[in-house]
Structure 1
Amino acid sequence: MNYFKKIIKYAIPYKKYGYLNILFNILYAIFSTLSFLVLMPMLKIIFEPNAPKITKKPSYHGLTSAIDFFKNSISYYINNIAGDNKLKALMAVVTLVIITFFLKNLFNYLAMYFITFLRNGALKDIRNDLYKKITELPLSYFSEKRKGDTIARFGTDVVVVKNSFLSILEMVVREPLTILFSIIAMLFISVKLTIFVFIFIPISGYIISIIGKSLKRKSAKVQKEQGLFLSLLEETLTGLKVIKAYNAEESFGNKFKESTHRYYNFSNSLVNRTNLSGPTSEFLGIGVIAVLLLYGGKLVIVDGSLAGDEFITYMTLAYNVLTPAKAISKASYNVKRGNAAAERIIEVLETTNPLKETSNSVEKNDFKTEIKIDYVSFKYDEDYVLKDFSLTIPKGKMVALVGQSGSGKSTIANLLTRFYDVNEGSITIDGVDIKDLKKQSLRQLEGLVTQDSILFNDTVKNNITLGIEGKSDEEIIEAAKIANAHEFIKDLPEGYDTNIGDGGGKLSGGQKQRLSIARAVLKNPPIMILDEATSALDTESEKLVQDALEKMMQNRTSIVIAHRLSTIQKADLIVVMQKGKIVEQGTHEELISKNGTYKKLVEMQSLG
């Protein structure tokens, strides 16, 4: 129930729909009982056509005679309408039955109509909060989680919650009240028969509860396995080119088949256990009805203490109890299943974000003097990637970070943008620790161009203006020209309004990278971070991109993480890194003259 409370808070903004649902469910429960009670006068007319007419308006003599008062009142008014015409009397009763059943179903529809807004509204808000949460969580969270599992929580888990927890809201009022009103009417008709109902319903409920105990565990396995095969699907679509190139279709196919086979087994077990609830509750219900028929038949035929029309009406009311009771038992199964889904949703929503802003975090809209990395140590897992790393980057200077893979270059970019927080030490901009800056403010000061061009399934224009508002077409075109992208963009089928496909799949590597640069140019930040922005390009594309980068870095503070050393020879400072530490630093000429690590790296690339 703990997860139920956490999920149910999403219904609060839509409580007005909940109140309307409750109102119409109360009316439904009342007319559900009345629709069966009005059968008594009709049955009396059919089975006792010569029964004496009620010509005097009945008087109410307390609860014990409530049913007689109800029957006699209807008979009195029908007698006034129909007189001695039995057929007319029957038609009047049938009309009354139709009206009560119509109102019952109308109120049922209105109750479901209003609860739909509540359920779907809560569903929308859960998804929105999940999306907001995953965009706030640090990159480290997703390095440990499968993407498909996260997607499954958005899709299947949220729908399961909607169909379990939120569907209970429909029956919280309707089913219990229907049972309550029906049982009250049954008590008025026959106390003895109703005692039988109270004996058998708890026994039925206990048997049903035994079946449902393992549902949460089974449901959790189903949802976890679905997340796994969705992850495999996502990895397959992302790496399809490599899978085909290495003839790995069968290998991935086998992995997928193993996962779907486990899902098949888990689902069969879950669905079969769930399906057992319906036949079990129905069989137990029929058992109760059978006992009522035996004992009630005895009261009518042998004892004569119960009228035939009352007995038939009583049996319909008993059925009116069993149907919602069955719905409640089914709902209890859904709660157990929904509990597993809710647990997975709440797990994401309640994940603590280690990159929190402090209560006194400040805005910073400009960059004046320097970036200072002061004795920073950082580790992703157990081993430190950086250890006591210090570096000062003055405003307006181009600082290049070079070194072998794994030396910690890209980690510097991750820390400067605060995708991760340092374990020890500090990073300051103009003397202000970046932990004390609002994250949005910090990232507004920085532009990032990575080795992998991250583009989206949208138009060229929308990819360039990502997160940037209020820019004119002229400014967008100017940014594209600086990035050497305008020439190829204007040749696209719809120019800047051309959709570039999933991940920019309709463009070449160089074109994608130049769009990424155009995006950074348009943002126009004072600090530019280039993380191996040309390493994945061919020679011709590299020249175009390098030219674009040089134009972009003019009069700007730049941190360039470089693989190809030919691209950073004009840097004001080149920092050579090895195993998370600085081994050399200086200009290109100074480092060559030192005849150390940097010169060896340059010579290795020249030979290559």
Structure 2
Amino acid sequence: MAGKKVSILNAFRTIIWPRRNLVLIGLILIIISRAASFVAPMSLKYLMDDIIPNKDIPFLKVLIGIVILAILVQAVTSFLLTKILSVQAQYMISELRAQVQQKVLTLPIRFFDNTKSGELVSRIMTDVEGVRNLIGTGLVQLVGGTITAVVALILLLRISVSMTLFALIPLAVFAVVALKAFKVIRPIFRNRGKINAEVTGRLTETLGGIRVIKGFNAEEQEHDVFKEGVHRLYQNVKKSLTATAVMTSSSTFLLGVAT
């Protein structure tokens, strides 16, 4: 199933651009949601500086109303983002699965002779799920996180430039660590899909041809092959967990230093 490598530009042109109206609505909802998320922390300034010292109860009621309204906006936009982007991403995944299956059926017989049917099933059903990172939760997290980071940086710079720059030093170190970690983690996750497809494919064919296996007394051989595949999958997961743990521990320490 190897083919031409898909570039980001090609993915944007074929996946995102035809759905630009939905993506635009989603981006607007993300901006509204992130703007509403700043209301609660910013309200603390007015609570501590104005309401408590002056015992201004009418202002307190107004502030509580604004905070509740902001929370309501966040809840509504979260629901709409799920309905618009996440559901659309799942629809695209189902469409791509059908297209991949249609493409596989047109391949020559020799391709199927050299490829396990169970492996093809696994690849068709799981490989296309990465689309949700382009339209779905991945897009929401990327755009929302970027907006939050930019706005927070501007607010921090307005409060104190020197303290903000000092806090950014450990964050910059964490960014370097994260980049290094992702260079290690990405190939591991990419290889995991391949290993999982091979193991699943072999298991599917084993269970489907169990009469033949029993007829040739090959149960032990199939067990050894499956055990070796499961062990390779375990080693892959072990590497990813180790790399993720290093990045998580680094973030905990460096973000704690920044705090």
When the two structures are superposed, what TM-score results if normalisation uses the length of structure 2?
A: 0.85
Q: Which residue of 1 aligns with 2:251?
A: 281
How far apart are residue 23 of structure 1 and its match? Answer: 0.6
1:183 equivalenced with 2:153 (yes/no): yes
How far apart are residue 163 of structure 1 and its match? Answer: 5.2
**1:76-91 counterparts in 2 under 5 A?**
86-91=56-61
Q: Alpha-carbon deviations, 1:224-269, whole Å to 9, x = none?
A: 2212212212321332111122222222112111111211121222
| In 2: Cα distance, 1:162 partner to 1:272 partner | 26
Secondary structure of 1:213 counterpart = helix
Secondary structure of 1:137 counterpart = coil
Q: Alpha-carbon deviations, 1:132-155, whole Å to 9, x = none?
A: 111111112222222222222112
Q: Which residue of 2 aligns with 1:348?
A: none
Match of 2:204 among 231, 234, 252: 234
Q: Which residue of 2 aligns with 1:488?
A: none
Match of 1:153 among 119, 123, 126: 123
| In 1: Cα distance, 2:88 partner to 2:22 partner | 6
Is the contact made by 2:157 and 2:164 (CA closer than 8 Å) also made in structure 1?
Answer: yes
Change (3 A) 1:175 1:208: same
Q: Alpha-carbon deviations, 1:23-56, whole Å to 9, x = none?
A: 1011122222233222211122465x14xxxxxx
| In 1: Cα distance, 2:82 partner to 2:250 partner | 27
1:139 equivalenced with 2:109 (yes/no): yes
Change (3 A) 1:46 1:286: farther
Q: Which residue of 2 aligns with 1:253?
A: 223
Q: What letter matches 1:20 in structure 2?
A: I
Greater share of strand: 1
1:24 equivalenced with 2:23 (yes/no): no
| In 2: Cα distance, 1:158 partner to 1:24 partner | 26
**1:441-452 counterparts in 2 under 5 A?**
none
Is the contact made by 1:21 and 1:111 (CA closer than 8 Å) also made in structure 2?
Answer: yes
Q: Rg: which structure is higher?
A: 1
| In 2: Cα distance, 1:245 partner to 1:2 partner | 45
How far apart are residue 99 of structure 1 and its match? Answer: 2.1
Q: Which residue of 1 aligns with 2:38?
A: 33
Secondary structure of 2:38 counterpart = helix
Match of 2:76 among 97, 101, 106: 106
How far apart are residue 89 of structure 1 and its match? Answer: 3.3
Of all paired residues, the percent bearing the same amino acid is 22
| In 1: Cα distance, 2:10 partner to 2:91 partner | 16
Is the contact made by 1:10 and 1:125 (CA closer than 8 Å) also made in structure 2?
Answer: no
Q: Alpha-carbon deviations, 1:364-414, whole Å to 9, x = none?
A: xxxxxxxxxxxxxxxxxxxxxxxxxxxxxxxxxxxxxxxxxxxxxxxxxxx
Match of 1:263 among 219, 233, 241: 233
Match of 1:220 among 179, 187, 190: 190
| In 2: Cα distance, 1:200 partner to 1:10 partner | 37
| In 2: Cα distance, 1:90 partner to 1:287 partner | 35
Secondary structure of 1:270 counterpart = helix
When the two structures are superposed, what TM-score results if normalisation uses the length of structure 1?
A: 0.39
| In 1: Cα distance, 2:134 partner to 2:185 partner | 14
| In 2: Cα distance, 1:259 partner to 1:2 partner | 28
Unaligned runs of 5+ in 2: none
| In 1: Cα distance, 2:93 partner to 2:211 partner | 37
Is the contact made by 1:11 and 1:122 (CA closer than 8 Å) also made in structure 2?
Answer: no
Is the contact made by 2:178 and 2:247 (CA closer than 8 Å) also made in structure 1?
Answer: yes
Q: Which residue of 1 aligns with 2:19?
A: 14
Is the contact made by 2:51 and 2:59 (CA closer than 8 Å) also made in structure 1?
Answer: no
How far apart are residue 126 of structure 1 and its match? Answer: 1.9
Q: Alpha-carbon deviations, 1:506-537, whole Å to 9, x = none?
A: xxxxxxxxxxxxxxxxxxxxxxxxxxxxxxxx
**1:372-521 counterparts in 2 under 5 A?**
none
| In 1: Cα distance, 2:170 partner to 2:156 partner | 15
Change (3 A) 1:220 1:104: closer
Number of residue-to-residue matches in the alignment:
253
| In 2: Cα distance, 1:138 partner to 1:92 partner | 70
Q: Which residue of 2 aligns with 1:323?
A: none
Is the contact made by 2:188 and 2:240 (CA closer than 8 Å) also made in structure 1?
Answer: yes
Secondary structure of 1:38 counterpart = helix
Higher relative contact order (CA 8 A, sep 6+): 2
Change (3 A) 1:5 1:279: farther
How far apart are residue 208 of structure 1 and its match? Answer: 1.6
Q: What letter matches 2:128 in structure 1?
A: V
Q: Which residue of 1 aligns with 2:85?
A: 115
| In 2: Cα distance, 1:152 partner to 1:200 partner | 42
Unaligned runs of 5+ in 1: 51-84, 290-608
| In 1: Cα distance, 2:254 partner to 2:214 partner | 57
Q: Which residue of 2 aligns with 1:126?
A: 96
Q: What letter matches 1:217 in structure 2?
A: P
| In 2: Cα distance, 1:280 partner to 1:109 partner | 33
Q: What letter matches 1:99 in structure 2?
A: L
